[in-house]
C-alpha cells in the first residue's frame, strides 16, 4: 500500500486470513503493490474471497471512461527528485495534446465525428491547485536516472499528495508525461482506467496518445497473424509511431466497439447459403453515403471470436494509415463481447477480386470477396456458398492483355488489380502474392467487352512505399504485344487506363420469356467436382496452392502440418472455364525431391489426372498450370507461361519448346518422331498438350 494515510486505516489484519475490500484501487500484478486513493472506502474481513484472474497486466476496480461524451483531461508534467523533466515545455505539450491539427483532442474529435471530445481540465484540484490550461507540473521523489521500476507509482503518489484525490470525478483522463531516464518503455496505460504514462517525447506523439487513451476507454491491442499482438498497424491500437502529426483512426473491430458509427454498422450470420452483398466506406467517408456501412460484423454463435470487415480507405482523417491502404481488412476479435475489452487479430487484407476463406466458422467455411471498387465505395460479397463469390463467365467477348511484373528484392510489397471503371468498378483481374525475388512474372488477363467501349483502371502499388528497386518494373501489352504502359521507379501507387473497344459481334441476347419470370435466380452453369491431391515433403508448412479464374481466387489450400502425408481437397469448377492452378513453396526448393518425395495433382470427376507433377525434381517458389474444364475428364492443360518455359507462336502455327532440362527440341521434331502422346518427365505434361499445332490438336 503506497499511502501513509491509508496504511493507518488498515488495522487488525491477520496474514493469510483477513480479506481487504476497497472501493477503488490500482493493482500491479507483477509486484506486491497496490495504490489506494485517500477517499477510498476500506473494510477488513475474516473471510477469504477468490480473486478473479485478468488478462490485462493492470486493472482498475471501476468502470472505464466513456467512448461518447466529453473527457476532462489533466496532463501532469513530471519531474524527478533531481529536477529532470520532460523535453517538451508546458506550451509544447498543450499544443501537441490539445491544439495541433493532429493531436489527441483534434484527431479523436475527427475520428469520432465529434462524439468523443477531449477537453483540457480547467479549475481547481481537490487540494485547491489551480489549473488554467489542462497541464500541471508535479515533482516526484524518484531518481529517473537510476531505475524505472515503480516510476508510475512514484508519479501517482506525488500527484495524489500535491493535487489531491486523483479519483475525483472532475478528472476523466490523467496523462503523465514522464522525464527521460533509464526506462526503455515508450508508453503504457492501465486498461479501463483514467491513467496513462508516456516516456518523454512520446507524450507529444498523437498515435501514442490515441493508443494509450484507447486502452483507457476499453480497447485492446490490434495484432496480426504472424506479426504479434501489435502487428495490425492499419489503426492506432497496433504499434505506435514516433510522428508528431499522424492522421489515422482504428480498425474495424475497434470501430464497432467504440459506437461512433452506430448507424453504419451491421451484424449478420453469413451461414445458410445466402449471398450477402454490401457497400463499405472508410471512416473518412462516414457521412458521404447513407447506404454504405463502415463495419460489417460476422456473428459466430458457437464462439466469441466474431469477425469484422471494413474498408481501410487512406484519405482525410485516415490518410496516414500505415498499411493496407484502400484494401478490405478482416479482423477477428479473440475474446470478449462486441462492446467489451479484447484484443483483435487481422487475418486478411484484400485487393479487388481477392477472396478470403474463413475456416470453421460455426463448423463451415465462409467466403469474403472484395468484388468492386469505385469512388471510395467498396463492395463485398459474403457467403458460405463458394459459388456466390466465384467470378461469372463474361456474357460477351473479352480483350486479351498481358501484365509483366519484374520483382525486386521485396516481391511481397508489389500488387495490382484491374476494375471496370465504366460501370460500378467490378473487379476484373488482380495479382497473385509474389514470393520470388528478382523474377519475371507474366499474366494474361481477358477484360470483358460490352455494347459500348469500356475503360478499365489498372492500379499498381508498393506496400512499403519505396518503389520497385533495381531492375524491377511493370509493363502491360495488348494482344499484339504492343507496350501500352510501364513504370516502377518511385512507385507508391500508380493508376493507368486500359481502353477496351465495344463488342462488334456480341453474343445474342436471351429471348424475353413468354411468361413472367420467377423470383429464382438463373442457375449457374454446371460445375464438376475436382480433387486437388497433395503429398507433402518433410517441410509441409512450406507448401500451399491456389486456383484462379481470370485472376480471381476460386479456392485455396488449408495449412499442411504433417510430413510426407497425403491431403485431398474437393473444388467445384465450371465447365467451359479456364483456370490457373498455382502451387507454392515458401522456401523455394519445390515439393520434390531434396526433402522427401512430395507430389501434387488435380483429378477430374472421371478420375483422370489433368495435372500431375509425377514426383518431378524441380526447385521453385511458385509454379503455374493452366487448364480448361470442358466435360468430365476433358480438361485440357495448357503451357506454363508464368515461368517462361515455353512460348506459343500462333502466327506461325506452331509451339516451340525453348528450354528442356537436358535437350531442346521443337514441337515438329516430337511430332515427326510420333511422340505426341509421350509424357515429359520434368513437367508431367503430354507432348500434344504443349504442341497442339504440330500434333494436330489445335481447335482453330
pLDDT interval class at 394 (50, 70, 90): low
Alpha carbon distance 385, 311 (integer Å): 23
Note the pLDDT tens digit of each residue in 238-275: 998 877 789 999 999 999 999 999 999 999 999 988 89
Alpha carbon distance 295, 259 (integer Å): 11
Alpha carbon distance 118, 131 (integer Å): 16
Alpha carbon distance 478, 456 (integer Å): 13
pLDDT in the model for residue 679: 62
Q: Under 8 Å CB-to-CB from 166, ≥6 apart: which residues?
A: 37, 156, 159, 160, 174, 194, 195
pLDDT at 94 over 90: yes
Question: 3: which 3 cell numbers?
Answer: 499511502
Residue holding cell 489484519? Answer: 13
Q: Residues 434-455: what's their mean pLDDT? A: 92
Note the pLDDT tens digit of each residue in 153-210: 999 999 999 999 999 999 999 999 999 987 788 999 999 999 999 999 999 999 999 9
Q: Is the CB of residue 158 less than 8 Å from the CB of residue 144? A: no
pLDDT at 392 over 50: yes
- State the Cα angle at 423 between 420 and 429, rounded to 5°: 20
Alpha carbon distance 98, 92 (integer Å): 10
Q: Is 98 helix (H, G, I), strand (E, B) or coil?
A: helix
Can you spell out the DSSP letters for 45-85? ESS--PPPP-SSSEEESSPPPPSSEEEEEEEEEEE-TT---
Cα 135 to Cα 38, 175, 202, 220, distances in angstroms: 22, 9, 16, 27
Domain regions of the chain by residue span: 1-47, 69-218, 252-388, 398-500, 527-629, 654-690
pLDDT at 438 over 60: yes
Question: 613: which 3 cell numbers?
Answer: 507433377
Question: 393: which 3 cell numbers?
Answer: 463467365
Starting from the edge strand earliest in sequence, which strands make up the sheet with 440-448, in order? 440-448, 398-406, 473-477, 483-487
Cα 473 to Cα 327, 408, 446, distances in angstroms: 23, 8, 21
The predicted model scores a pTM of 0.69
Alpha carbon distance 580, 548 (integer Å): 5
Alpha carbon distance 680, 107 (integer Å): 63
Report the CATH architecture of 398-500: Sandwich (2.60)
Alpha carbon distance 428, 394 (integer Å): 10
Please tell me which residue, 451 or 552, carries the higher pLDDT value.
451
Alpha carbon distance 365, 273 (integer Å): 11
- Class at the top of the CATH hierarchy for domain 527-629: mainly beta
One of 3.40.390, 3.90.79, 2.20.28, 2.60.120 is the CATH number of 69-218, namely 3.40.390
Q: Under 8 Å CB-to-CB from 592, ≥6 apart: which residues?
A: 537, 598, 599, 613, 615, 616, 617, 618
Query: Which strand (E) or helix (H) includes residue 555?
Result: strand 552-556
pLDDT in the model for residue 4: 47
* Residue 519, Cβ density class (10 Å: 0-12 exposed, 13-18 middle, ≥19 buried): exposed
Q: Can you name the residues that pair with 419 across neighbouring β-strands?
A: 427, 457
Alpha carbon distance 229, 231 (integer Å): 6
pLDDT in the model for residue 148: 78
Amino acid at each position: 500500500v503506497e499511502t501513509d494515510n491509508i496504511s493507518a486505516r488498515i488495522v487488525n489484519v491477520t496474514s493469510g486470513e483477513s480479506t481487504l475490500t476497497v472501493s477503488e484501487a490500482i493493482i500491479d500484478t507483477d509486484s506486491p503493490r497496490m495504490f489506494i486513493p485517500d477517499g477510498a472506502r476500506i473494510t477488513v474481513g475474516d473471510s477469504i474471497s477468490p480473486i478473479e484472474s485478468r488478462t490485462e497486466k493492470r486493472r482498475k476496480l471501476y468502470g472505464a471512461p466513456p467512448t461518447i461524451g466529453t473527457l476532462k483531461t489533466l496532463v501532469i508534467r513530471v519531474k524527478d527528485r533531481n529536477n529532470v523533466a520532460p523535453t517538451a515545455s508546458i506550451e509544447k505539450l498543450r499544443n501537441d495534446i490539445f491544439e495541433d491539427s493532429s493531436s489527441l483532442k483534434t484527431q479523436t474529435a475527427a475520428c469520432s465525428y465529434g462524439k468523443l471530445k477531449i477537453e483540457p481540465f480547467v479549475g481547481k484540484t481537490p487540494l485547491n491547485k489551480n489549473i488554467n490550461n489542462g497541464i500541471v507540473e508535479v515533482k516526484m521523489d524518484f531518481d529517473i536516472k537510476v531505475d524505472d521500476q515503480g516510476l508510475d507509482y512514484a508519479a501517482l503518489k506525488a500527484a495524489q499528495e500535491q493535487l489531491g484525490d486523483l479519483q475525483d470525478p472532475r478528472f476523466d483522463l490523467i496523462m503523465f508525461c514522464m522525464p527521460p531516464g533509464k526506462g526503455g518503455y515508450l508508453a503504457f496505460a492501465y486498461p479501463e482506467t483514467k491513467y496513462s504514462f508516456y516516456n518523454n517525447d512520446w507524450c507529444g506523439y498523437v498515435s501514442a496518445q490515441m493508443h494509450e487513451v484507447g486502452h483507457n476507454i476499453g480497447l485492446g491491442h490490434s495484432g496480426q497473424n504472424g506479426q504479434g499482438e501489435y502487428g495490425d498497424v492499419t489503426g492506432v491500437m497496433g504499434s505506435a509511431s514516433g510522428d508528431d502529426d499522424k492522421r489515422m483512426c482504428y480498425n474495424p473491430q475497434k470501430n464497432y466497439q467504440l459506437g461512433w458509427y452506430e448507424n453504419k454498422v451491421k451484424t449478420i450470420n453469413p451461414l445458410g447459403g445466402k449471398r450477402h452483398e454490401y457497400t463499405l466506406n472508410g471512416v473518412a467517408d462516414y457521412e458521404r453515403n447513407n447506404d454504405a456501412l463502415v463495419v460489417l460484423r460476422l456473428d459466430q454463435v458457437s464462439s466469441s471470436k466474431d469477425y469484422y470487415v471494413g474498408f481501410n480507405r487512406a484519405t482525410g482523417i485516415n490518410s496516414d494509415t500505415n498499411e493496407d491502404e484502400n484494401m478490405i481488412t478482416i479482423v477477428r476479435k479473440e475474446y470478449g463481447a462486441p462492446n467489451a475489452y479484447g484484443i483483435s487479430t487481422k487475418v486478411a487484407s484484400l485487393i479487388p477480386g481477392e477472396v478470403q476463406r474463413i475456416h470453421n466458422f460455426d463448423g463451415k467455411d465462409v467466403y469474403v470477396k472484395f468484388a468492386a471498387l469505385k469512388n471510395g465505395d467498396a463492395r463485398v460479397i459474403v457467403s458460405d456458398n463458394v459459388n456466390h463469390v466465384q467470378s461469372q463467365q463474361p456474357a460477351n467477348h473479352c480483350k486479351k492483355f498481358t501484365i509483366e511484373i519484374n520483382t525486386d528484392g521485396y516481391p511481397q510489397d508489389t500488387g495490382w488489380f484491374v476494375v471496370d471503371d465504366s460501370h460500378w468498378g467490378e473487379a476484373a483481374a488482380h495479382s497473385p502474392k509474389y514470393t520470388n525475388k528478382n523474377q519475371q512474372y507474366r499474366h494474361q488477363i481477358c477484360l470483358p467487352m460490352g455494347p459500348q467501349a469500356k475503360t478499365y483502371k489498372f492500379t499498381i502499388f508498393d506496400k512499403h512505399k519505396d518503389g520497385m528497386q533495381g531492375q524491377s518494373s511493370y509493363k502491360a501489352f495488348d494482344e499484339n504485344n504492343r507496350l501500352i504502359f510501364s513504370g516502377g521507379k518511385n512507385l507508391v501507387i500508380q493508376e493507368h487506363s486500359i481502353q477496351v473497344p465495344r463488342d462488334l459481334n456480341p453474343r445474342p441476347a436471351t429471348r424475353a420469356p413468354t411468361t413472367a419470370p420467377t423470383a429464382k435466380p438463373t442457375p449457374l452453369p454446371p460445375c464438376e467436382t475436382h480433387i486437388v491431391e497433395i503429398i507433402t515433403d518433410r517441410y509441409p508448412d512450406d507448401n500451399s496452392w491456389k486456383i484462379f479464374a481470370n485472376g480471381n481466387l476460386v479456392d485455396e489450400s488449408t495449412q499442411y502440418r504433417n510430413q510426407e502425408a497425403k491431403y485431398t481437397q474437393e473444388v467445384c469448377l465450371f465447365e467451359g472455364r479456364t483456370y490457373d492452378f498455382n502451387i507454392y513453396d515458401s522456401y523455394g526448393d519445390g515439393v520434390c525431391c531434396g526433402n522427401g518425395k512430395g507430389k501434387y495433382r488435380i483429378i477430374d470427376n472421371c478420375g483422370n489426372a489433368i495435372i500431375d507433377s509425377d514426383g518431378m525434381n524441380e526447385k521453385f517458389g511458385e509454379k503455374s498450370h493452366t487448364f480448361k474444364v470442358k466435360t468430365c475428364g476433358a480438361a485440357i492443360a495448357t503451357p506454363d507461361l508464368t515461368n517462361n518455359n515455353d512460348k506459343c507462336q500462333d502466327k506461325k502455327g506452331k509451339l516451340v519448346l525453348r528450354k528442356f532440362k537436358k535437350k531442346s527440341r521443337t514441337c515438329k521434331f516430337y511430332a515427326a518422331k510420333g511422340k505426341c502422346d509421350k509424357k515429359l518427365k520434368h513437367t508431367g505434361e503430354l507432348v500434344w498438350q504443349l504442341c497442339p499445332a504440330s500434333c494436330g490438336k489445335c481447335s482453330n
